[in-house]
């Protein structure tokens, strides 16, 4: 029973579970099962919540615009409106323009969807509850996110329509430029934590709101810059230049209809949730409740059902935080007007990049300066080196080795010795 809850990854979990049930399987099979489960989870996740978000967006926008929004389908609040939309979209005819590049035209939506899907690869939903606990988690996530633009370009180009092309070019230009400040700001908490492993980043913030990175003087600003860039990279208003219905009919979506169109739509919401979750993990303490209860529980009983339960509760916290951020994005979309393309680029290249560079440098210098002034490396909360999870987790989370770890600490925070 313990092994069940002592599992480091889903694969081990299943292995233990099946062994418990009486079907002992080898590790590879367990891996396959785990992979399948992951995919099922993620797809299911935004099969369902994407719908939820769409519904939420309709309602929120309606409220912002002083309307009721959907009220009919499925009860008083129109719960099933999204489902109805989905059914309608699936029923629609799959059109491919005559002089479009058919293959590309068909392929584009899948690339986008796969990109935003794959971005969930390294995102931890709760302590250790991640598809692949990569050491380069954030890095990989950003990389995969950057793949999305290719799909957009492909779509715009292969449509063989100038509106689509315009939209695609705008989109690519915008995303390629916004990636830079986004990555820089995402690196700020990484520097503070000293690891790219999202799971560790989250763990390092656990144990109280005062440990969250957002209270770090530089990360605080970094959060907002990051969120702006994230919004832009999701093509959300006020940065939705790609489908600027007032200028380009619908941008790169012009020629699309039916299911393929809805794939783009899904991908958009998926990436919205992804960037929000990323923000949660990086700045908002991930699955940590603000009071350090869960952290204390887990430290009290590192493994077993209790910690499992704690993880489950942490999952809820995580979802809530992320969803709130998504709602914020929706809110922003329906309240702010759209910028001109030149304004968009100006915002990025002239303001966000310098600001983020400054923030990054500040975050790097901050602990060193602080350590030289006062022996500590952070004003509020424990220094990063001291709030580390128990060694058992460390084995699963990072195989980088204690010595390397300690070196990493030294190089990252200047004075702190190894907490492990």
Partner 1 sequence: MTAEIILFWLFAFLTCAGAIMVAASQNVVRMAFSLVLTLGSTAVLFLLLGADFVGATQLLVYVGGTLVLLVFGVMLTATGPFTRIKSSPADAILSGLIGVVFLFIVASTVTAVNWDGENGIDQKIAMGAHAKAVEGGFNPTQQGNTTRPLGLSFLSLRADRDLKLDLPKESSAETNTAPVVPGVSVVMPGVMPPPKSPVPLSTGYLLPFEIVSVHLLVVLVGAAYLARTKRRATT
CA separation for the pair 387, 82 (Å, rounded)? 43
Q: Single out the residue of 39, 277, 271 nearest to residue 145, CA to CA.
A: 271
Kindly tell me which residue out of 71, 296, 343, 404 binds partner 1, with binding defined by CB under 8 A: 404
17 lines the binding site for partner 1 (CB under 8 A): no
φ, ψ of residue 175 in degrees (nearest 5): -70, -40
Contact call for residues 197 and 137 (beta carbons, < 8 A): yes
Minimum CB distance to partner 1 smaller for 134 or for 345 = 134
Task: Give one word for 194, left, alpha or beta, with left for phi > 0 and alpha for psi -120 to 50.
Answer: left
Minimum CB distance to partner 1 smaller for 152 or for 244 = 152
Q: State the nearest-atom distance from the C-beta of 401 to partner 1, in Å.
A: 4
Kindly tell me which residue out of 10, 113, 123, 169 binds partner 1, with binding defined by CB under 8 A: 169
Minimum CB distance to partner 1 smaller for 110 or for 334 = 110
φ, ψ of residue 126 in degrees (nearest 5): -155, 180
The interface with partner 1 within residues 92-151 (CB under 8 A) comprises 99, 101, 103-104, 107, 132-136, 139-140, 142-144, 146-147, 149-150
Contact call for residues 122 and 140 (beta carbons, < 8 A): yes
Minimum CB distance to partner 1 smaller for 134 or for 249 = 134
27 lines the binding site for partner 1 (CB under 8 A): yes
DSSP state of 136: T
CA separation for the pair 150, 141 (Å, rounded)? 16
- Region from 288-296, 336-344, 361-369, 396-404 binding partner 1, contact rule CB under 8 A: 396-404
158: exposed, middle or buried (Cβ count in 10 Å: 0-12, 13-18, 19+): buried
177 lines the binding site for partner 1 (CB under 8 A): no
Tokens of 106: 């068909």
Minimum CB distance to partner 1 smaller for 327 or for 410 = 410
3-state secondary structure of 400: coil
- Region from 70-78, 83-91, 336-344, 406-414 binding partner 1, contact rule CB under 8 A: 406-414
φ, ψ of residue 199 in degrees (nearest 5): -60, -45
Contact call for residues 286 and 280 (beta carbons, < 8 A): yes
Minimum CB distance to partner 1 smaller for 240 or for 405 = 405
Minimum CB distance to partner 1 smaller for 32 or for 320 = 32
Largest CA distance in the chain: 70
> Residue with structure tokens 């998504």?
326
CA separation for the pair 339, 231 (Å, rounded)? 13
158 lines the binding site for partner 1 (CB under 8 A): yes
Q: State the nearest-atom distance from the C-beta of 13 to partner 1, in Å.
A: 15
374 lines the binding site for partner 1 (CB under 8 A): no
Q: State the nearest-atom distance from the C-beta of 254 to partner 1, in Å.
A: 15
Minimum CB distance to partner 1 smaller for 114 or for 250 = 114
361 lines the binding site for partner 1 (CB under 8 A): no
Binding-site string for partner 1 from residue 188 to residue 227, where x marks contact by CB under 8 A and - marks none: -------xx-------------------------------
Q: State the nearest-atom distance from the C-beta of 370 to partner 1, in Å.
A: 21
Q: What is the dihedral of CA 65, 340, 56, 284, to 10 degrees?
A: -120
40 lines the binding site for partner 1 (CB under 8 A): no
> Residue with structure tokens 């590192």?
302
Q: State the nearest-atom distance from the C-beta of 177 to partner 1, in Å.
A: 11
Contact call for residues 73 and 84 (beta carbons, < 8 A): yes
178 lines the binding site for partner 1 (CB under 8 A): no
CA separation for the pair 74, 84 (Å, rounded)? 9
341 lines the binding site for partner 1 (CB under 8 A): no
- Please confirm whether the linkage preceding 238 is cis (ω < 30° from 0): yes
Can you give the binding site for partner 1, defined by CB under 8 A?
A: 27-28, 31-32, 35, 99, 101, 103-104, 107, 132-136, 139-140, 142-144, 146-147, 149-150, 153-154, 157-158, 160, 165, 169, 172, 176, 179, 195-196, 395, 398-405, 407-408, 411
């Amino acid at each position: 029973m313990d092994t069940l809850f002592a599992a480091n990854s889903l694969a081990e979990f299943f292995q233990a579970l099946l062994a418990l049930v009486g079907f002992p399987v080898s590790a590879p099979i367990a891996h396959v099962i785990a992979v399948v489960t992951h995919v099922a989870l993620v797809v299911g996740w935004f099969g369902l919540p994407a719908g939820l978000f769409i519904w939420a967006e309709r309602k929120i926008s309606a409220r912002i615009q002083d309307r009721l929004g959907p009220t009919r389908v499925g009860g008083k609040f129109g719960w099933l409106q999204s489902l109805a939309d989905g059914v309608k979209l699936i029923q629609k005819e799959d059109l491919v323009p005559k002089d479009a590049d058919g293959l590309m035209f068909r392929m584009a939506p899948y690339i986008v969807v796969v990109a935003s899907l794959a971005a969930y690869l390294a995102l931890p939903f709760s302590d250790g509850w991640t598809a692949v606990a990569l050491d380069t988690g954030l890095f990989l996530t950003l990389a995969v996110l950057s793949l999305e633009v290719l799909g957009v370009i492909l779509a715009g180009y292969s449509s063989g329509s100038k509106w689509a092309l315009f939209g695609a070019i705008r989109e690519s230009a915008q995303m390629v430029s916004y990636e830079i400040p986004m990555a820089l700001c995402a690196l700020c908490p990484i520097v503070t934590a000293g690891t790219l492993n999202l799971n560790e980043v989250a763990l390092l913030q656990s144990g109280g709101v005062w440990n969250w990175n957002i209270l770090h003087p530089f990360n605080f600003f970094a959060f907002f810059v990051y969120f702006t860039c994230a919004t832009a990279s999701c093509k959300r208003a006020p940065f939705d230049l790609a489908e600027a219905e007032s200028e380009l009919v619908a941008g790169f979506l012009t020629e699309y209809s039916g299911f393929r169109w809805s794939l783009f739509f899904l991908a958009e919401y998926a990436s919205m949730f992804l960037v929000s979750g990323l923000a949660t993990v990086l700045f908002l303490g991930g699955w940590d409740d603000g009071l350090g209860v869960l952290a204390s529980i887990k430290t009290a009983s590192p493994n077993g059902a209790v910690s499992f339960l704690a993880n489950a509760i942490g999952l809820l916290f995580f979802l809530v935080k992320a969803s709130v951020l998504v709602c914020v994005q929706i809110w922003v979309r329906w309240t702010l007007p759209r910028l001109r393309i030149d304004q968009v680029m100006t915002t990025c290249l002239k303001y966000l990049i310098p600001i983020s560079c400054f923030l990054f440098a500040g975050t790097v210098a901050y602990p060193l300066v602080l350590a030289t002034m006062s022996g500590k490396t952070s004003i509020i909360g424990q220094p990063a080196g001291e709030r580390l999870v128990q060694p058992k987790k460390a084995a699963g989370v990072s195989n980088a080795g204690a010595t390397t770890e300690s070196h990493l600490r030294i190089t990252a925070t200047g004075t702190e010795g190894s907490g492990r």
